[in-house]
Amino acid sequence: MKKFFVSLVLFASFFKARADEGMWLPMLLGKQVYADMVKRGLKLTAEQLYAINKSSIKDAIIIFGGGCTGEIVSNQGLIFTNHHCGYAAIASASSVADNYLKDGFYAANKDQEIETTLTVQFLDKIVDVTSEVEAGLKGLSWEERTKKLADVFQTITDKVADKENGKAGRIYSMFKDNQYIMYVYQTYRDIRLVGTPPESIGKFGGDTDNWEWPRHTGDFSVFRVYAAKDGKPAAFSKENSPLKPKYHLPVSIKGFKEGDFAMIYGYPGSTNRYETSYGIKLKIDLENPALVALRDMRLKNMYAEMVKDPAVKLKLASSYAGIANYWKFFDGESKQLLKFNTYATKQAYEQKFSAWAKGKTEYEKIMSDYSKNYTAWTPYSKHRQYLREGILGSPLGAFASSLIGLEAAMVKTGATGADIKKAADAANSQRNAFLQSEDKPSDVKILAAVAFAFYKDIDKSQHPIGFYEKLKAAYGDPREEASYKKWAEAVFANTIIFNDAKWNAFIASPDANVLQADPAFDFSASFVKNYNTKYASLFTVFTNKNNELGRSYVKGIMEMNPAAVNKMYPDANSSMRVSYGNVKSYKPRDAAFYDYVTTSKGVLEKYKPNDYEYDLPLKQLELFKKKDFGQYIDKAKNDLVIGFITTNDITGGNSGSPVINANGHLIGLAFDGNYEALSHKIEFDKDLNRTINVDIRYVLWCIDKLGGASNIINELTLIK
């Protein structure tokens, strides 16, 4: 196989890279797109964007928690990120008495900052390890490669591991396994909550405005990273000191105008822009509709309880937000893929590829093999979605399924008492966490609904043997919704999971017969084991074959389009990327125009007293009505700018990413995409794609004027 190294070439795509499209590798900006960035307005050198031996912008960009981006904004380790990225930590720090999620919080000094369980990771360097990986896999079949890949990765990353300094390597597959890049990170474990706006600001607009523009959400939160006195990563300790970073972003309150340059650094999670027409069809026809319907049901049942009780709202807040976010995304994705006729576009390209591949042994069967692979898996795809989003979408169902490991330990031949006790202790610990987050009134309805949905929507031949027969015998006709309500209530009433006395007796003397007779475990295990024994292997075969075909497909595309090889970026995969574009308005449809900014005027227009999504703090209302915006006012608008849009190419994982102007100054935080372009994971739309950002001036106004936390403002390097 011909080898392609990232330091020499860029891989081709079957789509020509267009203006504003691209999630670029920071180490190669100088060779790839730097000249175009300068033409678009950038005033920094390539070395200021990314450098190994001296500080650069990349040193201020962090992986925040497990799936967001953050940025360092002071020489004392201060972090800005999105409110929804810090949401779980804020909720965890809150109580009904001290409800920081509802009321907001700002530490007046460092002693008031709140411990969290978060971690952040700084990028140390990026290394192309393609040759090393390929050497370790030489001569292996695809199946053998798949099995050995993790060990090859481990051998390479072990060479850079430095536990004392918190450094570790992570290897990313690029261009469908045609290339491998190692990112070396340094992880810090003492992260403290410094500030958050009230939820009515941080989530203003709620689910209604999610993925929508115009937007008026103050989606930000503030944290700080601490280190041991020698600057090394350390667990939480009162003896730790704020980290002195290699670089921090200056913060501009000068504002911007339409057309101004904007770049975004971050860690975009995933895209699949090499997806085939077969994948598009499966997504549109089966996967997305199933996910959306099941999440919609779960959200409605959770919401019905959350609006009744502030304590329940606090308990379910983080889970609800996560479910809702991608419920709306996948609904919009399907609609946009259909609107833009992406399936037909992919088919047309594949026909051209097949014509080119005719007579080329390595490539001529790729499309027919894709067809066979999807044909074999499609009958079971919906089953998998209903298990993951339905059966395991019930919190009780999900927890009960985790007990399968305990069951395995108890029935395993030769298992020792120590083995069983270890599994029982783990289950007991997991139960404690589950009970703290469980809301029975919503979950009992979810449980009934998902069992009924599986019965109705999944082919009878794929049902777990005996489950619905037992339900019928005890609770009535499985074709009737009422039967499931009776069954679910009985499960909740009789499971040992909610009965402390019975659970404690079971943990003290674990008995497989007791667990297997439990109605919650019986339900969950019936469906999980049914899938694992009959269909999981089919999914593995499907996935492995798709990966093998994908690697060959991309390689073939490169050979078919050699002229396009000189400008391409890999799919997002949670590795650091840079995108660039401009501040820009757009026309979403005929006769409609969306400006590039929103202002306080729009917040007041949306305001609804005591509304779940559009309420506001009284102090904010007073300050807005007085136009008391201080130094954060936009003089051109004579108003406080709340949000703005740019043409940058981002995706999930970029939440909290810094939006940086031509001079390298922070002007906002990216937090969303627009509904009209939610097909962006698969297809970037050069006309409609927009990134939605909170203006940094609104962030600072909330901290300073509304929150009174001038101590935070004083830490920043303000550009006025």
Determine the straight-line distance between the first and last CA of the chain, rounded to whole angstroms.
Answer: 55
Annotated catalytic residue: which of 74, 381, 574, 655? 655
Judge residue 462's burial from the number of C-beta atoms within 10 Å of its C-beta, 0-12 exposed, 13-18 middle, 19 or more buried: middle
The residue assigned the tokens 């309500």 is 485
* 655 assigned to active site: yes
Annotated catalytic residue: which of 83, 84, 248, 463? 84
Distance CA 380, CA 426 (A): 32
Give yes or no for a contact between 466 and 526, defined as CB atoms under 8 angstroms apart: yes
The conformation of residue 320, written as its DSSP 8-state character, comes to H
Number of other CB atoms surrounding residue 339 within 10 Å: 12
* 680 assigned to active site: no
Annotated catalytic residue: which of 177, 219, 439, 634? 219
Give yes or no for a contact between 342 and 282, defined as CB atoms under 8 angstroms apart: no
Alpha carbons within 13 A on the beta-carbon side of 655: 22
Give yes or no for a contact between 266 and 670, defined as CB atoms under 8 angstroms apart: yes
Distances (CA, A) of 441 to 275, 402, 488, 489, 500: 41, 22, 11, 10, 19
Give yes or no for a contact between 126 and 578, defined as CB atoms under 8 angstroms apart: no
* 219 assigned to active site: yes
To the nearest 10 degrees (0 to 180), the angle between helices 519-534 and 481-494 is 110
Give yes or no for a contact between 421 and 493, defined as CB atoms under 8 angstroms apart: no
SS3 636: coil
- The bridge status of strand 718-719 relative to strand 251-252 is parallel
Distance CA 582, CA 37 (A): 10
Distances (CA, A) of 65 to 77, 86, 115, 116, 322: 15, 8, 14, 10, 14
Catalytic amino acids? 84, 219, 655
